[in-house]
């Protein structure tokens, strides 16, 4: 076994890397005899971003070429897994070889390869650091011409990230306006009153209204949903935005009555690990704060006038209101100093389920379904790993005993930071059949996804899907 074989297998952990470096620190920048690759290139091509990060932190040369001249950045064209993350990791170390190429690569630059792979995220990353559009490959084409030859409009837009950002913000604005219009109008049709939606209260949109709610006769909810379906299918912007979920807006319109009456709770991890050495390095607390504010902003836009969001923490007690507006959310989270352990299940029961669910069941006053968004950066401590699942199951059992559907309370659970303990913990939840119907475990890291979707289109799309759709099936009507 060699250090290169470890890198190819993805087992080059920090401890294992240290054991290799202890007798020979220069090995980190050696080339493998058989492949001619550097260790950094081997880790990158193998698709292990954490290994790339570890090697760079230990002093691997981000610009060191392989025997045939491929730099670590250029070699990412061979990477099949996590290419954008690996490229982002390399770029953090400010390589001088952004446009460096070689004869083996037919003088294609890293940007050209990203274009050919249709890797939009990598194209954006390279262009943001100034990757050249003018250098020509052996075929005489520069990066812009390579992109034009693909016929991929998304790739062409990604060559100009600032313009793309503006265009996507405009598209996202149109989509969100339409969704808010649906919320506004469905609320009117189903309830007989105008639901006041932030940013839309009392407003009309003649352009949309003439197609979806032409009047003057009163539409039934069914008629309205059919009109929405026709409008979406005829609108290229909406079709593009939801191209892989063509009935998303139609389903949203049909199920919105439940959505508007769902109480929202954001449950945050404020344990000491959020700001310890690794937590500080990854800015876990800052990322969580930014994410929570964005979730709150999106959520409060679809709630009836006067309604807000509840915010709770594992260790700190703050404003116990169940209806904070965006300003209240910001004030509360800014006042918190992370500390203590991660008794995530125990505190969920004490601070959220007892007052917001169980006490209302006893008083025969549970009128609205509940969505609890849980964010954590690690595994539970000192409580057992299965405590959270037990609490979720118990919640469902209590609901059923009182004649409510088990999914009247739903949970969205996601990870902040790179802790392997958090990954293991969430995997146990994901594989727990007892909570599958009521708990959605977010795949990957919330903070990584948030960074990935800095453009408004991607971010709104993700938030709408993640926060809204799990609620569509939740009903508060008692079982007959």
CB 107 within 8 A of CB 136: yes
Block means of pLDDT (10 residues each) for the chain, length 480 residues?
A: 92 91 93 95 93 94 96 92 90 93 95 93 89 95 94 85 55 55 51 31 45 54 64 62 58 53 85 91 90 76 65 90 84 92 95 94 85 90 94 95 87 88 89 88 71 53 54 38
Distance CA 85, CA 370 (A): 35
Structure tokens at 24: 């020979």
Q: Give the per-residue pLDDT at 457.
A: 47
Q: Give the per-residue pLDDT at 434.
A: 93
Q: Give the per-residue pLDDT at 6.
A: 93
Q: What's the CATH number of domain 3-162, 3.40.50.300, 3.40.50.1000, 3.40.1010.10, 1.25.40.20?
A: 1.25.40.20
Q: Give the per-residue pLDDT at 152.
A: 87
CB 297 within 8 A of CB 341: no
Give the dihedral sign, CA 169/173/175/179: positive
Can you spell out the DSSP letters for 205-252? -HHHHHHH---SSPPPHHHHHHHHHHHHHH-HHHHHHTTT-TTHHHHH
Cβ neighbour number for residue 130 with a 10 Å cutoff? 9
Q: Give the per-residue pLDDT at 183.
A: 54
Distance CA 239, CA 247 (A): 10
Assessment of whether the complete model's pTM goes beyond 0.95 = no
Closest by CA to 253, choosing from 323, 169, 183, is 183
For the domain spanning 261-471, the CATH number is: 3.40.50.410
For 15, residues 6+ apart whose C-beta sits below 8 A from its C-beta are none
Measure Cα distances from 309 to 11, 227, 303 in Å. 43, 31, 9
**Per-domain boundaries in the chain:** 3-162, 165-255, 261-471
Q: Give the per-residue pLDDT at 365.
A: 85
Q: Give the per-residue pLDDT at 7.
A: 93
């Amino acid at each position: 076994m060699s250090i290169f074989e470890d890198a190819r297998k993805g087992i080059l952990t920090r401890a294992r890397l240290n054991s290799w470096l202890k007798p020979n620190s220069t090995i980190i920048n050696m080339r493998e005899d058989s492949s001619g690759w550097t260790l950094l290139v081997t880790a990158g091509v193998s698709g292990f971003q954490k290994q790339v990060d570890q090697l760079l932190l230990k002093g691997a040369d981000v610009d060191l070429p392989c025997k045939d001249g491929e730099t670590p950045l250029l070699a990412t064209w061979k990477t099949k897994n996590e290419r954008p993350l690996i490229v982002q990791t390399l770029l953090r170390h400010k390589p001088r070889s952004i446009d460096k190429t070689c004869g083996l690569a037919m003088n294609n630059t890293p940007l050209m390869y990203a274009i050919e792979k249709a890797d939009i995220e990598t194209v954006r990353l390279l262009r943001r650091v100034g990757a050249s559009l003018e250098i020509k490959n052996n075929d005489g084409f520069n990066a812009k011409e390579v992109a034009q030859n693909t016929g991929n409009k998304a790739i062409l837009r990604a060559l100009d990230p600032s313009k793309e950002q503006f265009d996507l913000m405009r598209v996202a604005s149109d989509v969100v306006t339409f969704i808010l219009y649906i919320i506004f109008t469905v609320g009117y049709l189903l309830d007989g009153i105008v639901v006041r939606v932030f940013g839309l209260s009392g407003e009309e949109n003649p352009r949309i209204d003439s197609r979806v709610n032409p009047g003057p006769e009163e539409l039934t909810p069914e008629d309205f949903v059919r009109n929405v379906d026709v409008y979406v299918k005829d609108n290229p912007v909406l079709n593009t935005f939801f191209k892989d979920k063509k009935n998303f807006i139609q389903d949203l319109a049909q199920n919105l009555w439940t959505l508007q009456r769902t109480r929202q709770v954001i449950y945050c991890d404020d344990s000491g690990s959020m700001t310890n050495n690794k937590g500080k390095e990854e800015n876990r607390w800052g990322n969580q704060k930014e994410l929570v504010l964005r979730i709150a902003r999106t959520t409060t836009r679809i709630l009836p006038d006067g309604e807000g969001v509840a915010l709770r923490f594992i260790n700190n007690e703050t404003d116990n209101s169940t209806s904070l507006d965006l300003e209240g959310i910001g004030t509360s989270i800014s006042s918190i100093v992370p500390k203590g352990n991660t008794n995530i299940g125990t505190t969920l029961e004490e601070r959220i389920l007892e007052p917001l669910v169980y006490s209302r069941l006893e008083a025969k006053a549970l009128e609205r379904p509940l969505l609890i968004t849980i964010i954590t950066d690690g595994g539970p401590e000192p409580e057992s790993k299965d405590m959270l699942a037990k609490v979720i199951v118990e919640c469902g059992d209590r609901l059923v005993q009182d004649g409510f559907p088990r999914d009247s309370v739903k949970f969205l659970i996601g990870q902040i930071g790179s802790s392997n303990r958090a990954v293991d913990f969430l995997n146990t939840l994901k594989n727990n059949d007892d909570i599958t119907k009521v708990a959605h475990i977010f795949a990957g890291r919330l903070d990584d996804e948030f960074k990935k979707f800095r453009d408004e289109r991607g971010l709104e799309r993700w938030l709408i899907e993640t926060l809204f759709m799990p609620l569509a099936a939740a009903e508060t009507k008692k079982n007959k």
